[in-house]
Chain A
């Protein structure tokens, strides 16, 4: 690919220019004139992070298999690139028109010339980057401004957003034309084809003035499809106390409730075999196969555990095949599996043994994240990590059995200590523990429990390795609880930043134990994340204001600017406390109530009651616990029900 002189000049001055050139192995080349729909898939963070995200590879593959669609990519330019693109060097202050508009990596086409621009919403703290990418493309930020009577308006791309954060779409509702809720594989392709159809049938010449524009026609046409949410067709009305009164449907094409899209059969949905292989180092640069989707464990704080239900598996043979094909087509020397909990795959042991054999043969490193630590896993880890043992990870999430019952985290201290003993005997020297603080009903006694677990692990090491204990270390990482939409804890108040800080200080004191390191997350980031996780449409103003003040890359500590955010909320007339530390009643209309994840809202309420009663809910492999998913699709499709995990689960009843 050859590029023009101006872009060359920019690339010569920017840090890591290869972020902005594409040209990777397995990049898809098409003649844009030969396709019906052109879409830019946008990841609102840097190239290195976006390219490590499997969802991008999945959708890139699916869309580009279709000869009528060309899916290209675009990532958030780093601040140095942004400055050059805006031409800030030449003109003091912000340029009216960017010196170089944001372009796609496949063809260097300005993003503004695409038919569709689709953002993936993986974490709330990337939201300002979305606005920034729109602006760098020269696209008006607000959906309403892209729809207006202005004759040019028809030419703006339709801006789409999907991914886990789309389950509470309101904080972005003013900026996005279409949210896609749920599994994207079938839905996104369909949207691209519907767009092509509307574009073809729509002819300006024959239109009478009363006829809706191309975009509106398209939005009406897709509004009824499962998984499609067009925010312009819904108007929030607020009560005097500031809570939501109702979400009024304003267009006949739009349904009262937007049902999430579900892929019922994972086995038959296309999966990448020729992954893009970056030219530069990225966060993860390896072959990856998704083994199954969904999780049955039912942790009450976990959004993924609710919104990806039910469990659907890929066949073992398919997984092995995909893994080998990917390795052959990419030249990767590392393979990883993806799911919410690796060992819950129904044929996990057979698969792991076979994969280990294949990887050994081919000199490929195998990485198996989030294993449940039983004796089989230890055998596996011992083999794949050999002498270079990485840390062993436990996520008890809470420090006491009482609180673990409240959050339905099914792990006991005995589990942890037994596994630790085994690990130490096998030569592990580093144990990593993950906890959350600020969970509902938490007291300082629960925090004491965190310190106790760390202390006991250190003691176990002394018992086994003797007085000196070797180089053994324990790392305790604590994150701050952020209540998420569509979970049993969606009504809970979050701790105040002051609460978090007090708890961090308390823990830092308690964890002054030789051989223990303590890490924690910034409390202000967690509060901001909580505003977006449960915010309503009024938040859009604050987001735009924050972006105008210069907020970008808020997930990066070095870029997060607390003061600017405080100013943004003030300017927008928004009190963040209303969204973070205020408990909701179950009768309150929530800003995401019109989004139906297919798990019953009643189920979430029941789970909340059980949480307060300290009552656990078993893994639904032991028997359905009635979340409601099976009203719409088959649970455990593709799983081997004679597998030990179903039996063990049943035996525990």
Chain B
């Protein structure tokens, strides 16, 4: 038996599959390439494999991580090649590292993630649609930041200040077992952020966010609060999200050695 960590990218149309779909897809690749996974003991054995962090449906992922324990032992490159042959289009395996020294799961070591969010900026909305008309009950995910009337979409620096200088960035979050969402401040969970303006007028937001079991911030809340702050009327379906990388509590090489 041997443990491995595999880095991969998920791009293109396959990004419309969910995390659970991807689990099944990976499980089948092992079956299809006759690379048996090790199974857990117990009444309901399951294969030993998992992802460092689930990737939401619709997101691209450029440096995703997957760990597994196989029954046999493989040269990492050989394993990589075997599995790569069984992968559906859009899943690209990039490297495979032996991980016998990894004691906790990769998921337990994941602390942050960097996202690239592309928002078609266009003309600022007269009235921000997120948050709706006064009196509308807030829905989970809605932002409660004030719109900045001076936000200048052609000046990324001013955008940064307008957003990052806020003491509190409030959004409505779904509560467990309760109907009403509650307000939370996401500002402390934002580690870094840059704004860039592309030629096609799209606003690119690069955000390093908490992303682990202790503290986790969904980029969806960045989208709603950024749009609201800057009065951007883009529909969610016009926004693309790409996860550029995952950050572990220690460098990966250190974790694996």
- Number of residue pairs A-B, CB distance < 8 angstroms: 72
- CB B141 to nearest CB in A, in angstroms, measures 15
B95 within 8 A of A: no
A279: chain B residues at CB < 8 Å are 14, 17, 21, 25, 88
CB atoms of A25 and B32 under 8 A apart: yes
Q: Does B41 contact A (CB under 8 A)?
A: no
A414 is an interface residue with CB less than 8 A from chain B: no
Please, could you name 5 A-B residue pairs with CB atoms under 8 Å apart, sorted by A?
A24-B88, A25-B28, A27-B89, A332-B28, A332-B31
Chain A CB within 8 A of B86 CB: yes
Residues of A within 8 A of B27 (CB): 331
A277 to B31, CA, bound (A): 13
Q: Are A281 and B21 in contact (CB under 8 A)?
A: yes
Complex formed: what's the CA distance from A20 to B14 in Å?
10
In the docked arrangement, what's the CA distance between A330 and B24, Å? 12
Chain B residues within 8 Å of chain A by Cβ, number = 28
Bound-state Cα–Cα, A10 to B236, Å: 11
Given contacts A281-B21, A331-B29, contact A1 B238 (CB under 8 A): no
Which of A11-19, A224-232, A515-523, A629-637 lies at the interface?
A11-19
The reply to whether B13 and A329 contact each other, CB–CB distance below 8 Å, is: no
Knowing A2-B12, A23-B14 touch, does A13 contact B86 (C-beta < 8 A)?
no
The interface residues of chain B lying within 8 Å CB-to-CB of A333 are 31
Q: Does residue A21 face the partner (Cβ distance < 8 Å to B)?
A: yes
Is B30 interfacial (CB-CB < 8 Å)?
yes
Give the chain B neighbours of A281 by CB distance below 8 A. 21, 24
Within 8 Å CB of B124, what residues of A? none
Asked if A212 CB lies within 8 Å of chain B CBs, one says no
Within 8 A of B (CB), among A112-141: none
Contact: B13 with A330, CB < 8 Å?
no
The answer to whether B238 touches A9, judged by C-beta atoms less than 8 angstroms apart, is: yes
Which chain A positions have C-beta within 8 A of B86?
A: 25, 331
Question: 8 Å CB contacts to A: which residues of B1-26?
Answer: 12-14, 16-18, 21, 24-25
Contact A329 B89 (CB under 8 A): no
Q: A18-B17, A18-B21, A279-B17 are in contact. Are A25 and B88 (CB under 8 A)?
A: yes
- Residues of B near A11 (CB, < 8 A) are 16, 58
Residues of B within 8 A of A280 (CB): 17-18, 21
Does B17 contact A1, Cβ atoms closer than 8 Å?
A: no
Partner of B236, one of A12, A17, A22: A12
CB of B51, distance to nearest CB on chain A (Å):
16
From residue B130, how far is it (CB to closest CB) to chain A in Å?
16
Say if the beta carbon of A328 comes within 8 Å of chain B.
yes
CB nearest neighbor in A for B236: A12
Q: Which chain B residues lie closer than 8 Å to A21 at the CB level?
A: 13-14, 16
**Taking the nearest CB of chain B, how far is it from the CB of A245, in angstroms?**
54
How long is the Cα–Cα vector from A9 to B58 in the complex, in angstroms?
Answer: 11
Shortest C-beta distance, B34 to chain A (Å), equals 7
Contact status B12-A330, CB under 8 Å: no
Residues of A in contact (CB 8 Å), total: 29
| Minimal Cβ-Cβ distance residue in B for A277 | B28
- Interface of chain B, main secondary structure: helix
Measured CA separation A20–B24 after assembly (Å): 19
Cross-chain contact A330 with B32 (CB below 8 angstroms): yes
Q: B39: nearest residue on chain A (CB-CB)?
A: A363
Contacting B at CB under 8 A, from A1-43, are: 1-3, 8-13, 17-18, 20-25, 27
Q: Which partner residue on chain A sits nearest B28 by CB separation? A: A331
- Which residues of B have CB within 8 Å of A277? 28
Is A17's CB under 8 angstroms from B237's CB?
Answer: no
Question: B86-117 vs A: 1/0 string, CB under 8 Å?
Answer: 10111000000000000000000000000000
- Residues B32 and A17 in contact, CB atoms below 8 Å apart: no
| Inter-subunit contact B28/A23 (CB<8 Å) | no
Q: Do A23 and B88 touch (CB < 8 A)?
A: yes
Contacts of B125 in A (CB 8 A): none
Q: Is B166 an interface residue (CB 8 A)?
A: no
B88 touches A329 (CB 8 A): no
Chain B residues near A13: list those with CB within 8 A: 237
CB <8 Å contact, B32 and A328 = yes
| Alpha-carbon gap, A327 to B25, bound state (A) | 14
Q: Are the C-beta atoms of A331 and B31 separated by less than 8 Å? A: yes
Closest B residue, CB atoms, query A105: B13
Q: Is B57 an interface residue (CB 8 A)?
A: yes
Chain B residues closer than 8 Å to A23, beta-carbon distance: 12-14, 88-90
The answer to whether A3 touches B13 (Cβ under 8 A) is yes
Chain A residue at minimum C-beta to C-beta distance from B26: A331
- Closest-CB distance, B129 to chain A (whole angstroms): 14
In the complex, A18→B17 CA distance in Å?
6
Of B13, B16, B57, B237, the contact of A9 (CB 8 Å cutoff): B237
- Tell me which residues across on chain B come within 8 A of A25, comparing CB atoms: 25, 28, 32, 86, 88
**Given A279-B14, A279-B17, A279-B21: A329 touches B32 (CB 8 Å cut-off):** yes
Chain B minimum-CB-distance residue to A13: B237
* CA of A25 to CA of B83, assembled, Å: 13
Question: Which of A12, A20, A332 has the most chain B CB atoms closer than 10 A to its own CB?
Answer: A12
A25-B25, A332-B28, A333-B31 known; 6 other A-B pairs, CB under 8 Å?
A: A3-B13, A17-B16, A24-B88, A25-B32, A330-B28, A330-B32
Scan residues 60-108 of chain B and give those whose CB is less than 8 A from a CB of chain A. 86, 88-90
Residues on A with beta carbons closer than 8 Å to the beta carbon of B12: 1-2, 23
Chain A neighbourhood of B238, CB < 8 A: 9
Smallest CB separation, B36 vs chain A (Å): 9
Q: Are A1 and B13 in contact, with the CB atoms below 8 A?
A: yes
Inter-chain CA distance A446–B232, complex, in Å, is: 69
- Bound CA span A327–B31, Å: 9
Write the chain B residue with the least CB distance to A19. B16
* Cα separation A24 to B34 with both chains bound (whole Å): 19
Asked, given contacts A9-B237, A12-B236, whether A18 binds B16 with beta carbons under 8 Å apart, the answer is yes
A-contacting residues, B163-190, CB 8 Å: none
7 smallest beta-carbon distances between A and B, as pairs: A331-B28, A331-B32, A331-B31, A17-B16, A21-B13, A12-B237, A9-B237
In whole angstroms, what is the CA distance A330 to B30 when docked?
A: 10
Alpha-carbon distance between A309 and B29 when the two chains are bound, in angstroms = 39
Give min CB distance, A33 to chain B, whole Å: 20
Residue from A10, A18, A281, A333 whose CB has the most chain B CB atoms within 10 Å: A18
Distance between B93 CB and nearest chain A CB, rounded to angstroms: 15
Chain A residues contacting B236 (CB-CB under 8 Å) are 12
CB distance from A10 to the nearest CB of B (A): 8
